[in-house]
Amino acid sequence: MMDKKLESRLRRERWLKLSAFLLIHLIGIVLLFTIDNLLVSFVLAFVINYLLAPLVSFFERKSIPRHVAILIPYFTSFLLIGVAVYLILPLVTEQIASLEAQLPTYQRDLLALIGRVETRIKTLVNLHELNATQTANNWLIAKTAELSTILPAIVSQSLTVALLAPFLAYFMLQDGRRISRGLLSMVPNNLFELALNLHHQINDQMGGFIRARFLEAAIVGLVVWLGLAIIGFPYAPLLAIFAALTNLIPYIGPIIGAVPAVLIALISEDGAVYQSMSVNLVVVTSIYFIAQLIDVLFIIPFVVARIVNLHPVTVILVIIIGAQLMGILGMVISIPVASVLKLTLTAVYNHLLDFRA
């Protein structure tokens, strides 16, 4: 059907187009990794984009022009965040101040607890070299000193990301489809339908995945808040926000989220900080357990059905890599990034099988 001369010309042209397409993506990836804060801002912008996209489409369906349809959820979000900050900030500041005031007590009680455990172990095993109290004390002092030096850098980085991410997200919502179309127009004809379908599938799955994860985190946070507030546990809102955020990390996130509350409960029980309140380890653990139970039994099967789970070993590896590269933030974003990669590779593989079957 096609002569040799035309075939070689087409092959050359296809390679040229594909190379240009891949080169643009490569340049984009290099820029993301080399420019400070760009990767984190970009990932957050993607998250904002996926969270707001259904709302933008909803307003667009009401015959509102797209740029206005984007601004409505934007302004509403800013307003809600503003009101929340106005209402919660004094509470959080108060709680942080109280936590700060209680910190030496916690530190003393924690060391006392470790000391007691150490003595018990020594009587049981007769280990004379063990000096856990001193080691823990040194570690706590070192970490507190480290915190004061890295805190300004974290604040400045967070501010840059907080400004850049919504800005990027606005353009993703406004021009994202046009940019995608532009990039797709560079794909050679023989791969065009494959690329288009793949792009659509990834977009669809990522949107569902991110929205479901955030809904899941919000519900877990709400359950923890309610539970802790009912039993009158200290720092309930702070602990709930922490639990909601760490819940975004699959498998180990819920455990990390429960650690501060469990520690406070443990110290309260042992060191008698909150002995007047009827708070104990079992009740606090039960609240976190119930939150996870609701998540696993109701939210995941009915809401997060589209989540692509990674193997536990992969999760641990990916979190370690994320933590090594970008610290706590790396731990939070490592799973969505790994999920994107897994989704992309699976989709490419399935599509190649499908299209060439």
Partner 1 sequence: MNILWDNIFRKPKKEDDIRTVLKENVLFRDLSERELSFVQDIVHVRRYHSGEAVFRQGEVGVGMYIIVKGRIEIYVTDPNAAQEEFRDIYITQLLDGDFFGELSLVEENGRRTASAVARDETVLIGFFKPDLTEILERNPSTGVKIVFRLAEVLGRRLKETTDKVSELRKTLKELRGPPPIAPYDGQET
Candidate list 18, 140, 196, 328; residue touching partner 1; CB under 8 A: 196
Instruction: Give the count of beta carbons closer than 10 Å to the beta carbon of residue 340.
Output: 18
Answer for which of 156, 189, 275, 324 binds partner 1 (CB under 8 A) is 189
Query: Binder to partner 1 among 8, 57, 134, 275 (CB under 8 A)?
Result: 57
Report which secondary-structure segment, H or E, holds 48.
helix 38-61
Binding segment (CB under 8 A) for partner 1, from list 1-9, 105-113, 221-229, 267-275: 1-9
Q: Helix, strand, coil shares of the chain as percentages rounded to 5?
A: 85, 0, 15
**Window contacting partner 1 (CB under 8 A); options: 38-46, 88-96, 278-286, 349-357:** 349-357
Q: Is 67 among the residues that bind partner 1 (CB under 8 A)?
A: no
Burial of 140 (0-12, 13-18, 19+ CB in 10 A): middle
Q: Are 45 and 179 in contact (CB under 8 A)?
A: no
Binding window for partner 1 (CB under 8 A); candidates: 81-89, 116-124, 193-201, 339-347: 193-201
Report the b/e string of 179-199 with b at 16+ CB within 10 A: eeeeeeebbbeebeebbeebb
278-337 positions binding partner 1, by CB under 8 A? none
Contacting partner 1 (CB under 8 A), which of 3, 36, 100, 129? 3
* Residue 179 in contact with partner 1, rule: CB under 8 A: no
**126 backbone φψ class: left, alpha, beta (φ>0; ψ -120 to 50):** left
User: Residue 60, interface with partner 1 (CB under 8 A)?
Assistant: yes
The distance of closest approach from Cβ of residue 182 to partner 1 in the complex, given in angstroms and rounded to an integer, is 11
Closest separation in Å from C-beta 356 to partner 1: 8
Find the binder of partner 1 among 116, 200, 306, 311 (CB under 8 A). Answer: 200
What type of residue sits at position 28?
A: G
Question: Cα–Cα distance between 277 and 233 in angstroms, integer?
Answer: 8
Site mask for partner 1 (CB under 8 A), range 15-34, x = bound: --------------------
Tokens of 36: 């400070």
Query: Contact letters (x/-) for partner 1, 149-178, by CB under 8 A?
Result: ----------------------------xx
Secondary structure tally for the chain: helices H, strands E: 10, 0
Select 136 or 191, whichever has its Cβ closest to partner 1. 191
Distance CA 209, CA 216 (A): 10
Binding site for partner 1 (CB under 8 A): 1-3, 6, 9-10, 57, 60-61, 177-178, 181, 184-185, 189-190, 192-193, 196-197, 199-200, 354-355, 357
